[in-house]
Structure 1
Amino acid sequence: MCAQRKHDREFVRTFFTSPTAVEGEDDSAKMLRRASQLRGMESPDVWVPDNEDATAPSMRDEGAENIVDVVSEEGAEFPGEIHPRIVWHRDDPSTRYQGFQHMLQIADPEKGAVEHVDGFVVPEVGDIDDWKKADEFFTIVETEHGLEEGSLTMSVIIESGQAELALGDLREEMGKPTNNLERLFLLVDGEVDYTKDMRAMTPTGELPPWPELRHNTSRGASAAGLIAVDGPYDDIRDIEGYHERMTDNQAKGMLGIWALTPNQVVEANTSPLPPKTGSWLLEVDGRDVELREADGRYIYDGDELELEETGDEEYRLHADGTERELDADELHEELLERTAYVPSMNDIVDSMEEFEAAKEAGRGAIAMEQSATVVISGTEVEVTRDRMWDEATYQAAQTPITLFQDVYENRSDQHEELEEMYGEEVVERAMQVG
């Protein structure tokens, strides 16, 4: 049995947490106020006033009050969704009760915040029965305050082996008349506490990468119609590492990631979107290098790979510590294996439009040609590849366009930036394909 999803968002790129109360400040809610005023690409898809780890235990009651005050005042203008994180723990009834009391306080219609609150984030969940306990508290809060049943979504943070195993139970449990787990929205990885729960160690003390956890969370979200989000990337200055993490996640179907700063929000908001311009990559010594475009040619500027023409359609290639003599056909095959094209938004839209026209004409598959002049050590080589497009290829290409459409439909505050990035004509066409 699989439940009908209750949320409209298809994708969430950014999950941004803010302390709810800062000790020793004249205004303990200053971080909340600052976050509530973020707009455009600096503003997350999901803002999480964090009344758990980001807020000292002694400040959490005040933090709940601050959530009510700030969200009631600023929530109507905030462009993303608002999902406060409460306290919870699978092994501690008193912690669960405190989180329940804070939910009751924040969701009180008379206080004016709940009309802008989309749901709550529940950390430290355990097995599926613990998820049901949390769900029951949501139902009680809705009943107590006369809210529509299921109107508050529930997101959980996967921070234990129990919670990871519960991902496999979701399809069977969601939609049963004995629970309201259809309210589930985000599945968020919490690698720090997960590492602690697993009793894992590394020689440097750094977190393990946990690719299995991220895969399992993405798979669980896909199977249950939910959205997967990766945990925080603590080195906020390491933008390259952040990008590598997001690229690895996106290959797993996990398009969202935790953001700790507005700068990370900008990076995470833009990373999964199709690029403005296409680019060619060349595999050199086991890594992909982006070729420099100049006058319609794509140039490799490094010295780890060298190419020279030795005669009429005869070449010598120095690569991977070896030297090889190749004819024109052999060189073309070698470069086909080493090159890849990253399509731009316009490229994807063009290809989808062409395939849609072919389908209307009764053709089930068409060949799409990609070609480039690649320059290595001053030697020019034409690289041409044909890619067969059928319905499966079309559906796979549609994912980044569907993401863009979801962003454009839900984030009107980003329209101007998106139109500046791609051009109004490309945006208009992207909103029509599919």
Structure 2
Amino acid sequence: MTTDPTARHYDREFVRTFFTSPTAVDDDDSAKMLRSAAELRGVEAPDVWVPDNEDATAPSMRDQGVENVVEVVSEHGADFPGEIHPRVVWHREDPATRHAGFQQMHAMADPERGAVEHLDGFVIPEVGDVDDWKKADEFLTVVETDHGLDEGSLSMSVIVESGEAELAMGDLREEMGKPSNNLERLFLLVDGEVDYTKDMRAMTPTGELPEWPELRHNTSRGASAAGLIAVDGPFDDIRDVEGYRDRMTANRAKGMTGIWSLTPGQVVEANTEPLPPEAGYWLLDDGESETELREADGRWVYDGDDLGLDDTGDGYVLHADGREHDLGPDELRAELLARTSYVPSMADIVDSMAEFEAAKAAGRGAIAMTRGATLEIDGVPVDIETDRMWDEATYQAAKTPIDLFQDVYEHRPDQHDALADRYGREVVERATELGE
């Protein structure tokens, strides 16, 4: 009899950051990159730190990398605020590489060496079909048995880098929970777009990686169906902060909160970007893009060039999409309402959810939430107002960013001060109490 495949078998429901660092470098102190990562704290520290003994470490340095992981994690693991999941070598088509990965896990997990008490699991790259996932799981079971560890105490995350692995995600619901495996130990499904591109023999005219939105969607869907956590792959252009943010925004619309981080700077962005903003703001679609409006003297001002507005005294002329539109006051408000959207702050979300909770406690199943603003285009002010019906489904959908916040607050006490500085202690306190 199988167990519920969507039941989570670990504490975290969200992972924002998956940060890799080489286990050994060619230097007098070959472990210096590990030591630097182990000392990260607060918003610079990832939710999941991955000492990377595969792609990030030269093959000739990997034996030393194992020793460095044991040394650094034994010394610093107790104080590291996130989870620690080393990546070992593996390949679906190479038994020798799989055996080498087993040996690496076996050495790192030896209780007599002092690191395993701080290790949360291992990351397995280059997996293939679901039978290959079971091989990795079985090796982990052997490691636990050999070292007297509780069965299932080490989690397993995989990197989806092939078409086989992508298809295997569809088998997890049926396979997890069978008595013949311990796949309940699965934690993260991580995209590896570079090797995936190689496996798919994909090409682009510029040589850049394809976007692979389908892979990200499938990984998010596979994680949701199996009760796991989806993480996007690395964003290589570390100077393109806006591109990194745009990628995370697109991912969150697919249900994928986590992303690979290559630098401490990317960790900060990925730790903070999924959380609601400190202050709410309005967006206006001017025909070219959604433009963030600037707040000034109680008005939300449009500073772009693609919309224009004239007040004729008895109506308005809206310059939009290369045309002039003669509109009455009600027609103008309707047009601007169709073009605007509001991005709520943490305080806005907390207020709305608290209001609905109070209404539900009073026996009301649905209420209307009203939000208004004064927009200003070319110096012309226009008042708009919108109503949104809140019912239980709306409440549950709006609760996702609060669930994320509560997960962060519970598991990352080193970030409490930063959250209080961002939102204010009163808002933080109210947010932690929602849904209780």
| Category of TM-score, reference length = shorter chain | over 0.9
Q: Which of residues 9, 13, 19 in structure 2 aligns to 1:10? A: 13
One-letter code of the match for 1:169?
A: D
Cα deviation per residue 1:3-56 (whole Å; 9 max; x = unaligned)? 342211010000000000002x00000000000000000000000000000000
Q: Distance in 2 between matches of 1:363 and 1:208?
A: 49
Give the secondary structure class of the aligned counterpart of 1:373.
strand
Give TM-score, length-normalised by structure 1. Answer: 0.99
What secondary structure, in the 3-state scheme, does the structure 2 residue paired with 1:381 have? strand
Equivalences for residues 276-355 of structure 1 within 5 A: 276-312=278-314, 314-355=315-356
CA–CA separation in structure 1 for the residues paired with 2:330 and 2:270: 42
* 1:286 to partner: Cα distance: 3.4
1:20 aligns with: 23
Aligned to 2:398: 397
Aligned residues: 432
Which of 219, 222, 225 is the equivalent residue of 1:220?
222
Q: Distance in 1 between matches of 2:365 and 2:9?
A: 35
Partner of 1:73: 75
Give the SS at the match of 1:311. Answer: coil
**Residue type matched to 1:152 in 2?**
L
Cα distance in structure 2, aligned partners of 1:375 and 1:34: 49
Among 260, 264, 267, the residue aligned to 1:265: 267
Q: Quick check: 1:409 aligned with 2:415? A: no
The alignment partner of 2:325 has SS state of: strand
Question: Per-residue displacement from partner, 1:361-399 (whole Å, max 9, x unpaired)?
Answer: 110000000100000000000010000000000000000
Equivalent position SS for 2:275? coil
> How many Å apart are 1:302 and its aligned residue?
1.3
Trace 1:156-305 onto structure 2 (pairs within 5 A). Answer: 156-305=158-307
Query: 1 CA distance for matches of 2:426 and 2:270?
Result: 25
Question: Secondary structure of the equivalent of 1:317?
Answer: strand
Residue 322 of structure 1, CA deviation: 1.1
Give the 5 Å matches for 1:129-144.
129-144=131-146
Structure 1 runs of 4+ aligned residues shifted over 4 Å read none
Q: Distance in 1 between matches of 2:132 and 2:347?
A: 46
In structure 2, distance between residues paired with 1:57 and 1:43: 27
Contact 2:309 2:377 in 1 (8 A): yes
Alignment-derived partner of residue 424 in structure 1: 425
The amino acid of 1:64's aligned partner reads V
**Structure 1 contact 16–259 (Cα < 8 Å) conserved:** yes
CA displacement 1:317-341 (0-9 Å, x = unmatched): 1111111111111111110110000
Q: How does 1:79-158 map to 2 (within 5 A)?
A: 79-158=81-160
Q: Is the 8 A contact 1:5 1:183 kept in 2?
A: no
Q: In structure 2, which of residues 28, 39, 42 is the aligned counterpart of residue 40 of structure 1?
A: 42
Query: Where does the alignment leave 5 or more consecutive residues of structure 1 unmatched?
Result: none
Contact 1:315 1:328 in 2 (8 A): yes
Q: What is the DSSP-based 3-state SS (H/G/I as helix, E as strand, rest coil) of the residue aligned with 2:433?
A: coil
5+ residue gaps, structure 2: none
User: What do you get for the CA RMSD once the two structures are aligned?
Assistant: 0.6
